Chains A and B, each alone.
Chain A
């Protein structure tokens, strides 16, 4: 029983990282119909910002997410203005390849600037509290709180604000949205900023339980795409459900099946797609 509780705690924190990762990816895929292969590097830049602010400068942790969101948003805007907007009429392949190249450039730049050593960041909280015979590691608490907070803010933004409404309109039909007089170019920038903020916070939270390195985001990219496909391309609720499903499958799988869980997780996704090819929350 204690072990089950422990696995659930692990699964919750893992799911929330997957969700933060996948919601940003799905937003971009839903609006632009393009895979952003550099999204893992957005997360990595969030981690680097945390390292510089917390480990190097000794500033309070609370500064890290805000600074990371500003830095990663600027990178997102550069991507939109430099790659995605100029290539908006060239289909999905060319911008996707451009993001692939950008991913390598960003990794190499960080390698040159910071070296290849794993960069340690102190945990936001340390220690643990005991519930029965199970332990709740305190470093998971900020991930759970931060993850839920970001998801709630995203939900409120998309569902309750005019900009959110505009994003949803853009997701459904960009031409129709433009005919309604919407400033498409500005809304595209907002989408990038939102997706970048989600990646930045994922980077901040991930660096507190792991270490920062040039390739820290690429390991999560495959899982992020898996969540997006399982949840349904472009669907934010789908990313939520998919993230929780994959987080729990992964956590239980790794605990009870060891490293074979990778195979188990992807077999599960294949099963979902056989039954529902449009994904858990996708529309036909």
Chain B
């Protein structure tokens, strides 16, 4: 009996030890914590600027997916993954302001992407006070001219940085075209574009004609096109205008017999084709990247359209023009997190501010993005480090498709 009891106790002890061992193992596994970092995106998901906003939502989401599938980020005993929260501002100041406030105050977002000019400008000081790292595509240079410790960075080559190279390339490529006029929105973005074009036209030796401004939401562009054509420009620039507007302007210019060059910004030929048809967009210049294999374009961005189409969700199923650009911009932020080995916005910011820091720019093979360059420092002085520098394309639409004109690599 005693022997039986002893055997039973030994067995019980063995089971307890084994159980303790298993529990100990599993408790060491659960000690490694999982945490999800929310990446906030305020962008236009509806209206004429929706091709940009949907591109941004897709690009940031796919970059976050890649970050997660590459293992995320483990710091100490915590494993971090990313999720994206995208809110629609319909390219409207009040909605953008509301969205950014909601993400900052209610949702506790610490990493953000903003799009709309006035909303981003208004809330940049708030984001700095709350130590929220913000990447933006706002054209207005005042977004750079924040205090040096600001948490907002422009991760798109703003038009004030691109204008000189864009117009110089036009002048070289189309030597017979000697005058340029701007048709743009009567808002901050339009006024900034106009000022940059005026300065760049003088530098390139192009005659600068009086600009024409229109209100956002315009559905019939014929009066504005009539006005601008009366000046007989060789080149009409609609950079910064929402995709829907650019399509309608192209259609109206064609209807009124314009034979010159229509140059615009990051707008995709496929989107323009749907709005204007093929003839009005032939020969247009854009700043979109043609996703054609064999050149400098990376395989990562070449694969994006198929991933957008295959992705589940109501705002997916279609490949948008500029997903490559936003994917690359988000990649800079996520690469900075990895290099900083931190999800603290202040530490990540310190990495971005570090002299000589280089980040992966996914759009181009072996692409590098830096903050600050001789060109941006010349424009923005001490704040040049808040402007990203990377290569960017000039695109010519041929047979309704994007083709590469050139890729500009800033000095």
Which of B224, B252, B275 contacts A211 (CB under 8 A)? B275
In the complex, chain B residues 25-58 whose Cβ is within 8 Å of any chain A Cβ:
44-48, 50-51, 53-54
Q: Tell me if B186 and A259 are in contact (CB < 8 A).
A: yes
On chain B, the residues within 8 Å of A10 by CB distance are 220, 222-223, 226
On chain A, the residues within 8 Å of B279 by CB distance are 126
On chain B, the residues within 8 Å of A214 by CB distance are 46
Q: Nearest chain-A residue to B88 (Cβ)?
A: A116
- Does B79 touch A at the CB level, under 8 Å? no
* Most A CB within 10 A of own CB, among B46, B222, B273: B222
A137 touching B247 in the complex, CB below 8 Å, given contacts A111-B46, A116-B47, A256-B227? no
- Does A119 touch B at the CB level, under 8 Å? yes
| Mask of A131-173 contacts with B, CB within 8 angstroms, 1/0 | 0000101111000000000000000000000000000000000
Q: Tell me if B223 and A251 are in contact (CB < 8 A).
A: yes
Task: Give CA–CA (A3, B217) in the complex, Å.
Answer: 24
In the complex, chain B residues 359-406 whose Cβ is within 8 Å of any chain A Cβ:
none
Q: Tell me if B219 and A216 are in contact (CB < 8 A).
A: yes
On chain B, the residues within 8 Å of A211 by CB distance are 48, 244, 247-248, 275
Q: Tell me if A213 and B217 are in contact (CB < 8 A).
A: no
Q: Tell me if B46 and A116 are in contact (CB < 8 A).
A: yes
Q: Tell me if A3 and B230 are in contact (CB < 8 A).
A: yes
Q: How far is the CB of A256 from chain B (nearest CB, A)?
A: 7
A116 touching B54 in the complex, CB below 8 Å, given contacts A3-B230, A211-B244? yes
Which of A111, A117, A123, A128 contacts B257 (CB under 8 A)? A128
Q: How far is the CB of A99 from chain B (nearest CB, A)?
A: 21
Task: Give CA–CA (A256, B226) in the complex, Å.
Answer: 10
Which of A206, A253, A256 contacts B219 (CB under 8 A)? A206
Q: Tell me if A215 and B47 are in contact (CB < 8 A).
A: yes
A122 touching B54 in the complex, CB below 8 Å, given contacts A3-B230, A116-B46, A213-B47? no
- Does B277 touch A at the CB level, under 8 Å? yes
- Does A264 touch B at the CB level, under 8 Å? no
Q: A6-B226, A116-B45 are in contact. List 7 more A-B contacts (CB 8 A).
A: A3-B226, A115-B318, A116-B47, A135-B255, A140-B255, A210-B248, A254-B214
Interface set of B (CB-CB < 8 Å, partner A): 44-48, 50-51, 53-54, 88, 90, 186, 212-215, 217, 219-220, 222-224, 226-227, 230, 243-244, 247-248, 251-252, 254-257, 271, 273-277, 279, 314-315, 318
Shortest 8 CB-CB contacts between residues of A and residues of B: A116-B46, A137-B255, A254-B223, A120-B274, A118-B244, A120-B275, A259-B186, A10-B222
| 7 chain-A/chain-B pairs, Cβ below 8 angstroms | A3-B230, A14-B223, A111-B46, A116-B50, A118-B274, A138-B255, A258-B186
